[in-house]
Structure 1
Amino acid sequence: MTLDQTRDTVAGTVDEDDWADGTFRNPVIAGFHPDPSVCRVGDDYYLACSSFEYFPGVPILHSRDLVHWAQIGNVLDRPSQLVLPTTTASSGGVYAPTLRHHDGRFWLIVTNCADGGGNLLVTAEDPAGPWSDPVRLPDVPGIDPDLAWDDEGRCWCTYAGIEQVRLDPYTGRTLGRPRRLWSGPPGAQAPEAPHLYRIDGYWYLLIAEGGTERGHAVSVARATAPDGPYEPCPDNPVLTHRGTNRPIQNTGHADLVEAVDGTWWMVLLGVRPGGGTPGWHVLGRETFLAPVTWVDGWPVVGEVAPAMAAPAWPAQPLPTPPARDDFDADTLHPQWISVRSRPVESWSLTDRPGWLTLRARGASLDDRDVTFVGRRQQHPSCLVRTLVDPADGRGGLAVRLDEQHHHEIEVGDGEVRVVVRIGSVRATVATRPVPVGPVRLRLDVIAPAPGGWHPGKEPDVLRFAVEHPDGTVDVLAELDGRYLSTEVAGGFTGRVVGMYAATGSVRFDWFDYRPVDRDDSAEVSGG
């Protein structure tokens, strides 16, 4: 599917914000969209993110104003490009892409940390795809690879450490030996995520350091040649929120882009902790936007806040997927992801036209080969519903962080039940009988209203229910959301909510995901 076809076929409403009063909302790409890399081609901006153990890999998004983004595809969307075997751990898989446009083509370099993976490079004429089969880079070690070209056409690959080697991007062959560049301020932890830019006669090396947790930061150095020697910025780090009580934390892993009007901007990852102490983030690391100015030849990063001063140009919202997917298309929208793989025999849109059929592999979300089709949770409060027919199996609606941290409401054998998995504990916490036939399952994710803080306050509540044909809602369980957070589970991902099959074949007529305003108590309560 081409970019133009994607624009024409992705119907829905645009993301409205407060641009008219001079502000926009951060994050600009909400939910589990970490490690952003951005490039501009003409009036269009394109951005790629990490995808870890999910398939298809590396979501790619398009924007015309750096604030409104729409997913147009996934870079690694077929097995010839990406293999994530069941031995791939959660938060393993695909790490930290760099997206660039050079010589009329899009180039993306990325690390596959799964068995037999390593660094790889793919190209495309259209960022919506198709992307090429990968060129393997066996002599490029480490993670977080970057690509940059000098005026002589030489390609430089820089990676976490921070080291650099010249590269033939067409063959994957390295040219010469790697050399260490600059690894951040003295004592910097985990120097990674390098990006190299040629700006006004200098080569700038932007890196992340401090780890991707609360100590995360962005630092920069410059040189007159791509291979150094590098002079550090006297004001490093140029961005960090460590040691602050700001609502956005873990700021780092950034990339720079020059806008159409000549202004500069930074995309970066961050998190929005909630609840009490230590603050739990449940949506994963998200993509934020900040302005950049240049002072004495160094980048100065503006504030990163939930409400930001809008850019000078007009807002240009793009079509986004409809809240409800009726599974009437001939393929799944690129927002849908699965755990490690999505074999053709595990799903179908044609077995029962207008329904998504899932065929069980693993017996539950505990299993690494579970049949699961989900989308990223992108809002602190949201309402998720689906109509499931379990006539030939058992399955339902799940919220997943990893194999040891997930909650689900499932139906089968005349019963609906809520199952929780927290670390080594797996338990059924509620059951109800249900009549034969399709069942409407419901999940309310309810973020707390402002106020009422205490040290043990949960970040949100997950309410699982059944909606009956007469409109009544039968709530089975309300669960503390902290147990599906990164601070509890560890790892690098965020929540993904979706459909799964545990036994046999399970069919889903539609799936509906809607953000909910925290003040909309009637909608949230399910009354």
Structure 2
Amino acid sequence: MRTLKLILSGWKSLSLLLFAILCFSTEASGRGKVTKNAPVFTHFTYQGEDAIYKNNTLKPDEFYNPILQGCYPDPSITRKGNDYYLVCSSFAMFPGVPIFHSNDLVNWKQIGHVLDRTSQLKVEECGISAGVYAPAIRYNPGNDTFYMITTQFSGGFGNIVVKTKEPEKGWSDPIKLQFDGIDPSLFFDDNGKAYVVHNDAPPQGQERYSGHRVIKIWDYDIENDRVVPGSDKIIVNGGVNIEEKPIWIEAPHIYKKDGRYYLMCAEGGTGGWHSEVVFVSDNPKGPYLPASSNPILTQRYFPVNRENKVDWAGHADLVEGPDGKYYGVFLGIRPNEKSRVNTGRETFILPVDWSGTFPVFENGLVPMKPTLKMPAGVENMTGENGFLPNGNFVFDDDFSAKKLDLRWIGLRGPREEFINITGKGLRITPFPINIKEVKPTSTLFYRQQHSHFTASVTMDYRAKTSNELAGITCYQNERYNYVFGITKKEKSDYLILERTEKGKSILVGEVKIEAEKPITLQVAASGDDYRFNYSTDGEKFQNLGGTVSGDILSTNIAGGFTGAMIGLYATLANDK
């Protein structure tokens, strides 16, 4: 009898232990922390309302430019048969380097991210505009392999290359390349040889002015994935004409056409003087002669207050289209009425006239229009059948899908460390980290893609202490952002609006609320004017803080290279 009691007692202890483990495993997320008092988000809706799309309705044979709205800068493109792949810079966003696929250059699907593992991407301690810069994607028909080469300014990487046979199925871990500088690109010649070109500083003691850079080329060993030591050579010094002191010759790409080699680069910096220039040579290692008609793409010569303004055009890459014509992708910005750059640098495309010696972007030297003619035989299916939407569109996410939409991103760390998709919605496990810290934050971001938009989300949450907060953020970087969320003050629930500028935070508004029921949080932007609203019944909205300026969400105020993002945010380190 005593033995039986001991057995039953043992089973009871074991059962309790198993129950505790089960409870822990079902509630665990975010670095193994037990989820306690975590907010649950449902029904996220983002709606673009830009007048440019209302006033420029598409004709049956047209599509909108840019092709990727919001912060998708520094595009690079390659082709294998009828498959086109495009990548963009991602800086400290995680996962990194979004990759897109198309068969026609008009309709694009995001198929993933090139750098989606912690072994590939180490951006835990860098500002949002550091990390991964200017990726270049290339297909080598000689070994049927895709390569992505980039500079990762973090984690001790430097210049790296990753590769794959199938871009949809993932990429290798990074291979470090032994050279300095930035913006590397690979070129695979049809004779089996390969080269790396990149931006670099001029030789020590030879810098002639601020912004003086050079373009270098190296032989590339395909079998061992390395640059050949001692093979480096400067092929462009300063830019098209060094006597005019051109700045920031960068983002080089080499192409071969009709037996000759063409080197295309950005010049003038990534701001208002940005442009694209081209050189030609009979040898991949030069000497390269500039086109007499440079630049071949720029928006720098036109009136500041022009209608439907596109600016900062440059950092381009070329590809042959399905109709046999060349096309170029490049970055540009669309500032709002106060010249703020809240949507960041976006991906545009233009046809390229290469009927003469040098390629020239068609209508790339006149003020750009919001619509383009489609390549012959292509049907516009944007926003349908999984293709990314364009123009004014609505993005709805009730977080019921098994996999998170690829447009959601984290910052400095994997999303999977703080999110769980549950039967009730998206649960975010709060980190003991504030959004103003240069660390991985428990925030899920969606890019701002319009100057005029409304974004809303319903949240079920009740803070227990003043250190806890959950809500939404409009975020440019760690030193410039808005936070709109629920926290605890003494024994009451408060909804607060906080503005952070130059790292210093002020309380714009607060209101005592009853947080027993879910609350809907909304941000509505009209150009530079932002309004933060809330609703306790999902229908009638009240404003908190009045109309506030979106100035701190603009790169020309906050600095850096990214666009504004809307985040679903939770923290255990609230400081207001």
TM-score interval, smaller chain: 0.7 to 0.9
Q: Alpha-carbon deviation of 1:418?
A: 0.8
Superposed, 1:275-294 pairs within 5 Å as 275-276=337-338, 279-294=339-354
Alignment of 1:410 onto 2:485 = yes
Deviations 1:145-172 (A, max 9, x none): 1011112211100001300101224533
Instruction: Please report how far the alpha carbon of residue 314 of structure 1 lies from its aligned counterpart in structure 2 after TM superposition.
Output: 1.9
1:98 to 136, 146, 149: 136
Report the counterpart of residue 5 of structure 1 in structure 2.
none
Q: Which is further off, 428-437 or 318-327?
A: 318-327
State the alpha-carbon separation in 2 of the partners of residues 441 and 163 from structure 1: 51
Q: CA deviation at 1:504?
A: 8.5
AA aligned opposite 2:487: G
In 1, Cα distance between equivalents of 2:436 and 2:258: 53
Letter aligned with residue 179 of structure 1? K
Q: Is the 8 A contact 2:322 2:375 kept in 1?
A: no
Matches within 5 A, 1:142-221: 142-160=181-199, 161-175=214-228, 176-183=230-237, 184-186=239-241, 187-221=245-279
Q: Residues 74 and 128 of structure 1 are in contact (CA less than 8 Å); yes or no, is this contact kept in structure 2?
A: no
Deviates more, 1:322-331 or 1:126-135: 322-331
Match of residue 263 from structure 1: 325
What's the secondary structure of 2:286's corresponding residue? coil
- Counterpart contact for 1:342–1:371, Cα < 8 Å: no
Task: Give 2:299's match in structure 1, choosing from 241, 261, 264.
Answer: 241
Q: Give yes or no for contact 2:90–2:97 (8 Å, CA) kept in 1.
A: yes
Aligned length: 475
Q: Deviations over 1:467-501 (max 9, x none)?
A: 22161101113211122101101111101112111
Match of 1:89 among 106, 122, 127: 127
The equivalent position to 1:125 in structure 2, one of 165, 170, 184, is: 165
* Equivalent position to 1:371, from 419, 430, 442: 442
Q: Distance in 1 between matches of 2:417 and 2:319?
A: 42
1:381 aligns with 2:452: yes
More displaced stretch, 289-298 vs 199-208: 289-298
SS across alignment from 2:462: strand
Q: Name which of 321, 325, 333 aligns with 2:397.
A: 325
User: Mapping of 1:488-503 within 5 angstroms?
Assistant: 488-503=557-572
Q: 2:548 aligns with which of 451, 459, 479?
A: 479
Say which of 230, 241, 251 aligns to 2:288.
Answer: 230
Q: Contact 1:121–1:136 (CA<8 Å) still a contact in 2?
A: yes
**What is the identity, as a one-letter code, of the residue corresponding to 1:305?**
K
- Deviation, 1:46, is 1.3
Alignment check: 8 A CA contact 1:339 1:368 kept:
no
The answer to whether the aligner puts 1:446 opposite 2:499 as a matched pair is no
Preserved contact between residue 62 and residue 70 of structure 1 (Cα < 8 Å): yes
> CA shift at 1:179, angstroms?
0.5
Moved more, 292-301 or 255-264: 292-301
| CA radius of gyration, larger in | 2
Offset at 1:182?
1.8
TM-superposed CA distance for 1:21, in Å, is 4.3
Structure 2 counterpart of 1:423: 502
SS in structure 2 of the partner of residue 298 of structure 1 = coil
- Ranges in structure 2 where 5+ consecutive residues have no aligned partner: 1-45, 48-52, 200-213, 389-393
Give distance in 2, aligned partners of 1:170 and 1:493.
Answer: 36
Corresponding residue SS for 1:97: strand
> Are the aligned partners of 1:417 and 1:431 in contact in 2 as well (CA < 8 Å)?
yes
- Which residue type is aligned with residue 442 of structure 1? Q
Please point out which of 111, 129, 143 is paired with 2:151: 111
Aligned in 2, Cα 1:205/1:90: closer, same or farther, shift over 3 Å? same
Q: Secondary structure at the match of 1:145?
A: strand
Q: Deviations over 1:106-160 (max 9, x none)?
A: 21111101141211111122222311111111x1221111011112211100001
Cα separation, 1, equivalents of 2:222 and 2:435: 39
Query: How far apart, CA to CA, are the structure 1 residues paired with 2:521 and 2:259?
Result: 59
- After superposition, the Cα gap between the structure-2 partners of 1:35 and 1:470, relative to the gap in structure 1 and judged at 3 Å, is closer
Q: How far apart, in 2, do the equivalents of 1:498 and 1:71 lie?
A: 20
TM-score (norm 2): 0.78
Distance in 2 of aligned mates of 1:500 and 1:26: 31
3-state DSSP of counterpart to 2:168: coil
**1:417–1:432 contact (8 Å) kept in structure 2:** yes
Q: CA deviation at 1:294?
A: 1.8
Q: CA deviation at 1:311?
A: 2.6
CA displacement at 1:73 relative to structure 2:
0.6
Q: 1:285 & 1:71 partners in 2: Cα distance?
A: 18
Residues 45 and 64 of structure 1 are in contact (CA less than 8 Å); yes or no, is this contact kept in structure 2?
Answer: yes
Q: Distance in 2 between matches of 1:50 and 1:306?
A: 23
Distance across 1 between alignment mates of 2:175 and 2:79? 24
Residue pairs, 1:348-367, within 5 angstroms: 348-349=420-421, 352-367=422-437
Whether the aligned pair in 2 keeps the contact of 1:19 and 1:315 (CA below 8 Å) is: no
RMSD: 2.3
Q: Is the contact made by 2:478 and 2:503 (CA closer than 8 Å) also made in structure 1?
A: no
Task: Name the aligned partner's letter for residue 234 of structure 1.
Answer: S
Distance 2:508 2:223 in 1: 55
**What amino acid sits opposite 1:468 in the alignment?**
T
In structure 2, the residue corresponding to 1:181 is in which secondary structure? Answer: strand
Q: Could you tell me how far apart the structure 1 residues matched to 2:180 and 2:533 are?
A: 48
1:67 to 106, 121, 142: 106
For the structure 1 residues 344 and 266, does the alpha-carbon distance in structure 2 shift closer, same or farther, using more than 3 Å as the test? closer
Q: For residues 279-338 of structure 1, what are the alpha-carbon distances to aligned partners after superposition, in whole Å with 9 as ceiling and x for unaligned?
A: 221111001111111243111211133223333232242524772222223332221111
Residue identity in the other structure for 1:167: Y
Other structure's SS at 2:160 match? strand
1:363 Cα offset (Å):
3.9
Q: Structure 1-normalised TM-score?
A: 0.86
Write the deviation string for residues 352-377 of structure 1: whole angstroms up to 9, x where unpaired: 43422222224432112221110111
Tell me the amino acid that sits aligned with residue 552 of structure 2. Y
- Counterpart of 1:297, as a letter, is T
How far off is 1:70 after superposition? Answer: 2.3
Bigger mean CA deviation after superposition, 151-160 or 164-173: 164-173
- Seq. identity, %: 35
Q: Describe the shift of the 1:479–1:118 C-alpha distance in structure 2 as closer, same or farther (beyond 3 A).
A: same
CA apart distance, 1:223 = 0.9
